[in-house]
Amino acid sequence: PFAFALERLLIGSTMIYKQMSWFSLFFILTFMILYYTHPAFAVAQTPIIIFLGFAVVVLSSLVIFIIMQKFEVELKAMQGMTSTVHAADISRFNTVMAAMSMGISTMRRRPLRTALTAVTIILLTFTILCFASFDTQRGIVRFFSAPSPGYSGVLYHPPRWGTINPDYVELVKARWAQEATVTTRHWVCPEFPGDPDFVVGHADGSNPVVLKGILGIQPEELAHRADLREMLQIDDPQRIRDHVFITEAVAELLGVQPGDQVVIKGIRLTVGPLLNATRLSAIVDMDNTSVIPIDYAQMQETEARQSAASSPEDMLTEQGNWANLPTDSVVLMSDRNCEIAGGKVSVIHLYTRDTQDASVFAEDLARMMDRTPIVATRADGVYRHIQGTVVAASGVGDLLFPVLLGGLVIFGTMLGSVADREKEIYTFSALGLAPPHVASLFFAEALVYSVLGGMGGYLIAQGTMKLLTF
């Protein structure tokens, strides 16, 4: 459009061959300016493909237009409508092209006003491009993860699971312990293939049963999680301190009932209400991951089979690929007892007053844990927060008045054009042109101004930036 408008406005050739020649010349000049000034051409490995793409689009559009016109003519001939009154109807495309030609002709008859208006729009476009820019910077990127749970908070665990550095735990507690309930979960589970399991048995050591994992939960977390309390069948969260919770299958193998004493890794605990394995496996955190510890041994084998390391973007989804330990091979106890039994911190929760605090804490924690996803509740669901690269606009607020000024200038020019061409409007109406067709003349003129001003200002801005940074 820019090359076509330049040819019609500056040259105005009447021969089709000259029109095509000048159009090609203006197009090549515009492309060469962009080629040497636009940063996209420096980044692209084969920038000539962009030129070929433009050429293919133009030629394809021309061929499609010719085929459609020929198809319409042949269809009317088959229907016998070539000699009817419908054949004299004016197509919308021809009307737009005629309006464009008449609008450009009017602009050519008023060269001074056209030049001043075009220069004004070009300078405004140049100002906008020079004083406003889009730049990449470090920021928080959010991804929707799941619907809102029945509580608000922040969840952190390593993207590939594993244990959390104790220094991180102390840092989180020191930063947010006064504003939120900070809880941890300790896990006991085999970390590598071949690691031994542990044994749980009666207080006298009889009837031992081999298990694989221990899940440690703090009473403070149970106070915020009604689903966990319901699954454990307890009303007082403090009961977890001296109790151990096992599934019905494990209790049957041990031959114990609620209230009996068992020993796990040297710790004597009372058996609490028996757990339903199905309900335990259905309990998930806010990111829809199970509360049951991960099978690290299987995870190590899976990583060994992977041929290449995953990209940083895959960290947001890879954690759902790991298998959990079998439900009937896991027992639940307090986080403190699990730590004594050799458990390590694997999950950190921050339970907040509302979702607003959760979103603020999550963004702060995401900045602290660079490129590590932090899950948190927001008003419309659960989101993953990760510090990454975001696109930000700078200087947009300073452009309000230049843009407003440009709009008023163009609006005043168009109103003046309507007033100057009042007699022409009467003539067009007397010839039978419909009001929309007459209005299209002025819209076509405004369209030419926008194309010339926008593209011209863009080329000048890119060229100026290239010269300043040369």
> What is the DSSP annotation of 23-51?
HHHHHHHHHHHHHHH-HHHHH-S-THHHH
Residues with Cβ within 8 Å of 1's Cβ and at least 6 positions away in sequence, in order, are: 451
Which token pair is 297?
């041994």
In order along its 470 residues, the chain shows pLDDT tens digits of: 788 888 888 888 878 888 889 888 988 898 888 888 887 777 777 777 877 887 888 788 888 888 887 887 788 777 765 555 454 455 566 666 776 777 777 778 888 888 888 888 888 878 777 776 666 677 888 999 899 998 999 999 988 888 898 898 999 999 999 999 999 999 998 877 777 788 899 888 788 899 999 999 999 999 999 999 999 999 899 999 999 999 999 999 999 999 999 999 889 999 999 999 999 999 999 989 999 998 877 776 666 665 455 555 454 444 445 788 999 999 999 999 999 999 999 999 999 999 999 999 999 999 888 788 999 999 989 999 998 777 666 666 667 777 787 778 778 877 777 777 778 778 877 877 777 777 777 777 778 888 888 888 888 888 888 887 77
pLDDT tens digits, 207-265: 889 999 999 999 999 999 999 999 999 989 999 999 999 999 999 999 999 999 999 98
Could you tell me which residues come within 8 angstroms of residue 104 by beta carbon, excluding any fewer than 6 positions away?
5, 8, 9, 12, 444, 445, 448
From the list 344, 381, 401, the residue with the least C-alpha distance to 148 is 381
Phi and psi dihedrals of 49, rounded to 5?
A: -60, -30
- The answer to whether the beta carbons of residues 250 and 209 sit under 8 Å apart is yes
User: What is the spatial distance between Cα 114 and Cα 221, in angstroms, rounded to a whole number?
Assistant: 72
Give the position of tokens 């000024």: 405
